[in-house]
Every structure is written in C-alpha cells, then in structure tokens.
Amino acid sequence: MQDNATTVEAASRDDELIELGVAAAAAAIRDGDITSEAYASALLRRARKQADLNSFITIDESAVLTAAREADKARAAGSTAPLLGVPIGIKDSYATSGLRTTLGVGNLKDFVPQQDAAVVVALRNAGGIVFGKNNLVEMSFGLTGHNSPYGQVKNPYGHDHVPGGSSSGSGAAVAARIVPASTGGDTVGSIRVPASLCGVVGYKPTNGRWPGGGVAPISHTLDTTGILARSVEDCALLDQIVTRDTATRTPQRSDLRRVRFAHAPRQYMNVIDPETAAHFTAALESLRDAGADIIEIDLGDGFMDTTNQMTWNFFFREMREAVTQFVARNNFPVTFDEIYNDVKPQLKEIWSHVVVPTGSGYLSEEGYEAALSVGRPKLRRQLGQAFTHNAADALLFPTTPCPAPRIEHGSNITIAGHQVDERFLAYNTIPTSGAGLPGISIPIGLSTNGLPIGLEIDAAHGNDRNLLDLARRVEALFGTLPTPA
C-alpha cells in the first residue's frame, strides 16, 4: 500500500514538472526548488510514455542525465546561466556534436557530426541541454509530418491527425509536454503550421535575425531558424539568448488599448474551414473588447496566388544548390544526388519535376532573377505598406486554413468543399516567408473534435521584439490549451 502511494505521489510530481515552461523551469532550477536531474528524468519518462507519437528520432537518455547532473553541480557552484539545466528538443535538421543528425533521410541514419549548429551552440552556452533530435519531414520537404525512414509523426490532440510540418516532431513534442521547447526551421511555414495544428506557440524571426549555420537549408532566400514553445514568454527568452539581444526596454504593457490590428479577409479567408473562421472572428471580437482597434484591409487582386507561386519557386529553385553546398561545407557524408536517389517515390517525383535542373518545371535563370529583383521587393513593399499606410501594429490571420487533417488523407485535403493538396496548409503563412517578416502563431481554441486552431500575428520587418511583446498581450486573452489527453 505504501509502495502504491509512493508511485501515485511520483506520478503527480511528474505531472507538475512536465507542465513547466522554459522560463519557469530555469527559475525553479536556479532557485533550488527542483533539480535539473529530477526535471530531465520526468521528461524522459514522459518521452517513453508518449513514444507512439514518434516525435523524436534520437534520444540519448544517458547523455541527457549526465548533462543534467553537471548542470546541478554548476548551480551549486554559483552558476546563474539563463537556461541552466533545461532540456530543449532540437529539430533533426540541426547538426549536433556527438548526437546523430539524419536530416530525416535514411542515408544519414548513422551520421554523428563533430560540430553543433550555431543555435545549438547558443543554447548550450546558456546552460541548456540537448534532449534529443525531433522527427521531421524528409529534408524538411513537406507539411504533414510523414517521414518514410523514421515514421509518421502523430498529433498529440488526435493521434490519427497530422501534426503539420516540416517541424512536425518539434510541434508534437512541445504539445505533448515531452520538452518545454524545440527548435524549428521555417521556409514557407514549417514552424507556424505545426504550431497551429499542435496548439503551441511558433515563432518565425525576421529572416537573418537567427543564425542558420549548421542547419540543413532549402532556400537561402526564405529559410530561418526559430522556436516552438508553449508560451510567448519562452519564445521571447530564447530569442534573447540566441540573438544576444540585451537592449534595455521600456516596461512591458499588459493591455491592448491603442493597439491597431489589420486583417485582410479577401486574401487570407477565401478558402477556410468554417470552425477556423468562427474562431478567428471571435478572436477579433475579443481583441476589440480588450480595447484594440481592428481594421479591414485589401491587399489586392491576385496577391495570394502571385505570392504563393513566387515563394514556391524560390523553395524549389534554390534547394539543390543549397543542400549541395551545405553537406560539403559541414562534412556530411552524402551528396544531393545520393539523397535524391533514396527519398520516398512521391518526393522523388516532385524533385524530378521542379528541383533538378532537367525537370520540366524547373525555373529558368531569367525567371529566378526576375523573382529576386522584381517580385520579392514588390511583395515586401505591399506588406510594408499594410503597416505604414494603415498605421497598423500587426497583421492578423488564421495560421492554417483548417485544423489538422487526418493522416489517412495523405496529401489530399478537403477544406470547405474545396479539394486541395498539403501545400495549402501553408497558404496563409507563405506571404510572411516570401517577404522575410517576423510572424508568430498562438493557439486560440479547440475545434468541436478537440483539434487546435491557431492565430498568426505578423509585424513589420525587423520588429521582432515589439511583435513578441504584442503577442504576449494577445496570448493573455486566450491562455494556453489544456494538456492533450
């Protein structure tokens, strides 16, 4: 009987520990309320319990516990590092010294790099612990979380639903309380889409704000590293650590009075799931009730179609060269052609059409240069004017046009009676990527069948800290979602 009571007490303690976010866990470790070893042990038990989500490709439990014990020793010696003893998930597109890095492809199933990616260096230098390598879509090329060699990632809020991608394991692991935060990579929405579908916060910085060294690329024009966490506060803390942004700031406000939000329904709500539309409309009303000014704008005929086409062109056109240079520069024992020859058939078919130079859909040099010199600057002007001409602090829209589709549907999705493919999950996130703006997705509720719905907030280029502060105040209206069953 006593043993049973001890087991119940331990389980209850684990339930408390796994709910801690990054900032809360770091503070508890610094203050001596918990040890890093106890926290890491609870998360490892959670990872074993939630193994069917397939959110990690690699976890070295011994290394995690060793690092946690070292953190506890450092704390006893007086260390006050901002992430001391806090485990963080790392998307498996990031190189990690001493821990295998697969990029989600079978060719690299045994590869262990000698150096960390730049973001991992920053996290370790701040006292953070690498918990494991999150599963992802092969070469970060997809939005449903399907991976042929390492398996399908499942959504914690509905195991028969997709988690989004390409940072699929990152979103699932954070939502499932396996880790308080995980790194991600965003090219057309690969942080914000899984954040929306898994009910967590996903922050895509302004392009160039976070370092990308040691992270497998797709497009140098579009790529950015970033983070998924369960609160805006944690995203802001990690942004400060990675960017070393220690500038003194004015005291944070908690209200939304005199904040001006713009939304463009003709562009971002043309094809949208009714429940997602209803949650978004209710969110606008909540913001109005909180004192914010909401204005409706129109970005013009053809804005979304033109922007989507141009951005996907960058995605496809730059990938082969970017990957070829990355694997050579970082001593990965593989070539692009070897990866190409080994990927799943449906992915190889797409690459053969639009990624390799002999493909019928491969963008010509003239078309590529025109997109870089004319198309992208025009998009940045259009979205820049959405802020300046309307005196708007932020642009709002539903992050994804629907809650998480079912895994069994594969790439074929029906939204409001329209048949679309998986790329449509990033339809709303693509303009932000194309223009290189900062964006953050926060959860605003659950659908009637218990699946998360996300709200994206975008700011003008370079206004990341203002965006994070504003998102914190918006988040306070909606809170966090309940832990998935």
The residues carrying an active-site annotation are 91, 166, 190
Q: Give per-residue burial for 236-270: e unless 16+ CB within 10 Å, then b.
A: bbbbbbbeeeeeeeeeeeeebeebebbbbbebbbe
In sequence order, what DSSP letters do the residues of 291-339 get, joined into one string?
T-EEEE----TTHHHHHHHHHHHHHHHHHHHHHHHHHHHTT-S--HHHH
In 416-479 the beta strands, taken as DSSP E runs, fall at 418-421, 439-446, 452-458
- For residues 127 and 84, the answer to whether their CB atoms sit within 8 Å is yes
**Cα 398 to Cα 54: distance, rounded to the nearest angstrom:** 27
**How far apart are the C-alpha atoms of 191 and 170, rounded to whole Å?**
9
Q: 107 with 338: CB under 8 angstroms?
A: yes
Question: Around 380, how many Cα atoms within 13 Å sit in the side-chain half-sphere?
Answer: 17
Give dist(CA 146, CA 159) in Å, integer.
13
Closest CA to 81 of 126, 49, 21, 145: 126
Which among 334, 369, 372, 340 is positioned nearest to 356, based on CA atoms?
340
Contacts of 169 (CB under 8 A, 6+ apart): 54, 55, 56, 57, 89, 91, 92, 134, 135, 136, 145, 153, 163, 182
* Nearest partner of 357 among 336, 372, 378, judged by Cα: 336
